[in-house]
Structure 1
Amino acid sequence: MKNSKDDHPVGDELKNDYAHQEPDKVVEPEEALKEIAIEDLPNSIKKALEKTGWDSLTPVQSKSLPYQLDRIDLMVQARTGSGKTGAFVLPLLEKLDPSLNRTQALILVPTRELARQVEREAEIIFEGSGLRVLSVYGGVGYGRQKEQLEKGAHMVVGTPGRILDHLMRRTFSLNDLKTLIFDEADRMLSIGFYPDMQQVKSYLPRRPISAYMFSATFPEHVLRLSKEFMYKPQLLSLSSKHVHVAEIEHAYYEVPAMGRERQLMRVLEMENPTSAIIFCNTKANVNFVTAVLNNFGFNAGDLTSDLSQNKRESILGDLRSGKIKFLVATDIAARGIDVPDLSHVILYEPPEEKESYIHRAGRTGRAGSSGIAISLVDVIQKLELQRIATTYSINFDCRTLPDDKEILKTINERLTTILEAKYRSTTILEKERINRYKELVRQLAQDDEQCTLVGMLMDELYQNSLHARPPQPPSEGQDTSGNRPRPAKRPPQSGNRPGGPGKGGRPQGRNSGGNRRY
């Protein structure tokens, strides 16, 4: 197993243009800690690296490990494939006690696939340490997960809904938790997961723990919500170096010349933006795309030059408030418009002028948050995108269009999450009523035509979820967890830098002396 560095798939046609680009730009906390080398690591981590065959640390590992070993809450912006799983699993060798058969680390992830992936990597890293890891997720029975939890798993990685189910069933407890980690934090604090995250928060210990968030992007709403789960978090960013649009991720999908609107629907379902502006070059395309989006079930508004100023302000107000999720616009919307929580900009077609790309892409990633600009291009338009890349030294990731199987898998996971969350919120009487329909559901499921009736209900539930507003942090002084007010945090204590005493001998870090409300 080798520890690989970031790989940026940009397509064969674009790769050569980026050979001259500078390495990733690093944005570190104000009180930055010196990055750590393998020889300075604690022995437990050194031994794990030797066994796994890792001969070097990736940048995200060498730069984030000092903060984690010093128990400083940290948000880490790094792309998939950068070694971030190792970055948050390796420090647990120092933090977890194998003699205590209790859950001491909780890793929250958005999908079952990611839960299994993290579990596999942790098992390799933990081999021979006595530490046990378990993944739990929805869509499967509770039996095996319950059995393994009762045996005692030192690290549990899972989706919020199933984690919450086990907590409510008292299958396991977080009383001995030391570390909380959010992988793909932008999705963990998204519309679908945020209500569950609020409930999970109420089960966390009343004493100080360490909390970390890892994500490729940190939209503005995630930066706001992070403070609910972390104490004075620092931000470490290993984002690509871009000109003009520094914190934006740039990507493209190659689509057929015909049927582009269908591919747009696929991209939106896979990307699941908090909100987005979709740019078209003509008013005719704006009207067409807006109609397609609304007919498909997405709530969209249009913005073109022939609208009055009052109408424009009204539509922008709907976007900011969450009344509509998507704004379809010509370049009139690319200048002078600032919309918070705009996670995506999507170019339905490349702009006619190269500089317009910068104005379009610049609508996301505002106020220091990150964002994503996605272009849909056919074979000929990809050449124009290449010219934009060369002109502005932008690194475009090439993404593969999802097929029907991938789309259905994504929808099924979201539906399962929604259904499980709704069931958890039901009363005892409502559960009794629901049980009356089990036999009917079994009968309908056995007949292909009758099964369509269940599918109709599922579709209605899924379409309603597409209109949900992005999660908002509680208002000042509001306690959504049901806990008593947070005790005042004591002054931080001094801590050692990484590379000091081993397990049990490390003094508490400067984030260890306070109290945190959950």
Structure 2
Amino acid sequence: MSSGRPTAPMNEEHVSNSNVDSQESLPDLPEATLDDLPERLRPGIARAGWNELMPVQARAIPYLFAQRDMMIQSRTGSGKTGAYLLPILEMVNPLQPTTQALILVPTRELAVQVASEAEILATGTGVRTVAVYGGVGYREQLAAFQAGAHIVVGTPGRVLDHLLRRSLTLQHLQFLIFDEADRMLSMGFYPDMRRVQHYLPEHAISTYMFSATFPAPVLRLTHQFMRSPGFLNLSSDQIHVSEIEHVYYSVPGMDKDRSLIRIIEVENPLSALIFCNTKVRVNYVTTVLQRFGYDADDLTSDLAQSSREKVLDRVRRGTLRFLVATDVAARGIDLPELSHVIQYEPPEDPEAYIHRSGRTGRAGASGTAITLVTAVERAALLRIAKQFNFPLNERPLPSDEDVQHVVSERIIALLEARLRTRDRLQTERMARFVPLVPTLAQSGEDNHLLAMLLDDFYQQTFHEPLIAPDEAPSRPPQSPSSAVGSGRRSRKRRPR
């Protein structure tokens, strides 16, 4: 076997063109096995304790070795990190002290996890990896760049910071990976991802997008970063992109409203239709969402026609993030780019579940159907899943600590993004308050003042209606701070 490229036969056709309107079959590549991988990767694989490749690795690795752009749909925890690390570790040149692979991830935890796995698998290869993320100092990251990190794993915001500072260059980049692309988009990283794109080299690079789901905005995102990508579905035995993931959360009956808030904060749907069984419940859930700062409105059968038209107009324009409705009121409403359906309570009619969940995952995209159930309702939902023969997965209910962790991660990214837009005069004005920050932080009572400011900033920034990728400007405006600090604009990348 030459070039370390797998040659074992592939069992099923899972590859298609990513154009959801016309999915043309692509040539199959054989599955990989551990024995097919290059000899220099063996020590790292042994150190990782792998006895065989996981399905996503066996099927995806040949396509990364082929160096053609690919969308790869695979569940979280399926082993996708190894699927892209092993080929990259073989193909980067350890003798060239430059960044040759960039892996963009949505969170600092994932950045650390991927970098740690890369270090284990890189045993004996001489390939160096650095994790780059916000909320920490720059010293260690700068030192890693100066030492010649071959693989950079980072969040889009902090990677962009280094590009603006010129502490990182991508001129020798060969591979670009988007890991958990759906989460990056839902966390508001799209503008940073587009700005990073303008620092990519003029020469062609191989780009891969891994995602558990491919909702419509993510599908559009692929064509902004990739060249006619192929699609490999490793989430199921379906060939097409379209897929609905059915999940449920077991929640306390007396705490269902707060549970919904925690689920939304962690899941962070791009858009959702929330079903309730009664008009009274619709009104209540809408009020709770609005009080928590979410862009939400309700739709019931007794709503005045003028009010109904206003709601439907926002739905058609895609500017309403959460629509809460009864089954009757939602009839006839077409939401082709709905990422989530949330059932605040299971329907009384089992067939209504299919109608509700079927409102997501349309037009070639994928979606998620979430149901909140009490102990009594859980049994009924399991019967529905058995009756209609669809897989139903339970997810653990997020705790307050889980939400706090997720929100902290987001607000650091948002604040760093806001800081990047400041020019020198704004930074000088801001400096007046720097001495006040430790004073407030040291006082227990004054901590509430800081918390209030952060909460207001988060609500006003993160909970704004999301802009779909095709509605955003093709090139984000140059920030005054970067224009003044660098003395030149970043070179725009040649269209691929």
TM over 0.5: yes
Structure 1 counterpart of 2:358: 362
Q: 1:373 is paired with a residue of what secondary structure? A: strand
1:368 partner SS: coil
Alignment-derived partner of residue 149 in structure 2: 153
Q: Share of identical aligned residues, percent? A: 52
Which of 23, 29, 36 is the matching residue for 2:31?
36
- Of residues 316-325 and 287-296 in structure 1, the stretch that sits farther from structure 2 once superposed is 316-325
Bigger relative contact order (CA 8 A; separation at least 6) = 1
Q: Match for residue 297 of structure 2?
A: 301
TM-score, L = length of structure 2: 0.88
The Cα shift of 1:342 comes to: 1.5
Which residues of structure 2 form unaligned runs of 5+? 1-10, 18-24, 478-488
* C-alpha distance in structure 1 between counterparts of 2:491 and 2:409, whole Å: 34
Q: How many angstroms apart in 2 are the aligned matches of 1:173 and 1:277?
A: 43
Residue aligned with 2:284, SS: helix
d(CA) in 1 for partners of 2:62 and 2:236? 22
SS at match of 2:435: helix
SS at match of 1:433: helix
Cα offsets for 1:102-144 (capped at 9, x unmatched): 1110000011110111011111111110001110111111111
1:409 corresponds in structure 2 to: 405
Q: Does structure 1 residue 463 correspond to structure 2 residue 463? A: no
Which residue of the partner structure matches residue 250 of structure 1?
246
Q: Could you tell me which of 60, 72, 75 is aligned with 1:76? A: 72
Q: Which amino acid in structure 2 is aligned with residue 386 of structure 1?
A: L
Does the CA contact (< 8 Å) of 1:73 and 1:212 recur in 2? yes
Alpha-carbon distance between aligned partners in 2 of 1:397 and 1:433, rounded to the nearest angstrom? 51
Contact 2:194 2:475 in 1 (8 A): no
User: Is the 8 Å Cα contact of residues 103 and 153 (structure 2) preserved in structure 1?
Assistant: yes
- C-alpha contact (below 8 Å) 1:25/1:239 kept by paired residues: no
* Separation (CA, whole Å) in 1 of partners of 2:28 and 2:43: 23
**Cα deviation code 1:383-426 (max 9, x no counterpart):** 01110110111111111111111111111111101000000011
Q: Residues 199 and 492 of structure 2 are in contact (CA less than 8 Å); yes or no, is this contact kept in structure 1? A: no
Task: Say which of 129, 132, 136 aligns to 1:133.
Answer: 129
* Counterpart secondary structure, 2:328: helix
C-alpha separation in 1, matches of 2:270 and 2:99: 32
Q: Answer yes or no: is 1:219 the counterpart of 2:179.
A: no
Structure 1 runs of 4+ with >6 Å offset: 481-486
Offset, 1:25: 9.4
TM-score by length of 1: 0.85
Aligned equivalents of 1:193 and 1:393: distance in 2?
A: 37
Identify which range, 231-240 or 409-418, moves more after superposition. Answer: 231-240
How does 1:23-62 map onto structure 2 within 5 Å?
26=14, 28-29=16-17, 30-38=25-33, 39-45=35-41, 48-62=44-58
Look up the match of 1:110: 106
Q: Which range moves more in the overlay, 336-345 or 87-96?
A: 336-345
- The aligned length equals 465
The answer as to 2:232 corresponding to 1:236 is yes
Name the counterpart of 1:502. none
Matched-pair contact (CA < 8 Å) for 1:108–1:159: yes
Whole-angstrom CA distance in 1 between matches of 2:251 and 2:471: 43
Aligned-partner residue type, residue 154 of structure 1: H
Distance 1:406 1:32 in 2: 43
Aligned to 1:330: 326
Match for residue 273 of structure 2 among 265, 271, 277: 277
Secondary structure of the residue aligned to 1:332 is: coil
Residues 154-177 of structure 1 deviation map (CA, whole Å, 9 limit, x = unaligned): 101011111111111111211111
Structure 1 residues 316 and 46: CA distance shift in structure 2, 3 A: farther
Structure 1 counterpart of 2:176: 180
Give the direction of change, closer, same or farther, for the CA distance of 1:407–1:351 in structure 2 (3 Å limit). same
Query: Aligned residue for 2:481?
Result: none
| Shift of residue 251, structure 1, vs aligned partner | 0.6
Q: 1:239-272 deviations in whole A, cap 9, x for unaligned?
A: 2369xx9601111110011121011010010111
Does the Cα contact within 8 Å between 2:250 and 2:378 map onto a contact in 1? yes
2:284 corresponding residue in structure 1: 288
Q: State the partner residue of 2:373.
A: 377
Residue in 1 aligned with 2:343?
A: 347
Deviates more, 1:415-424 or 1:168-177: 168-177
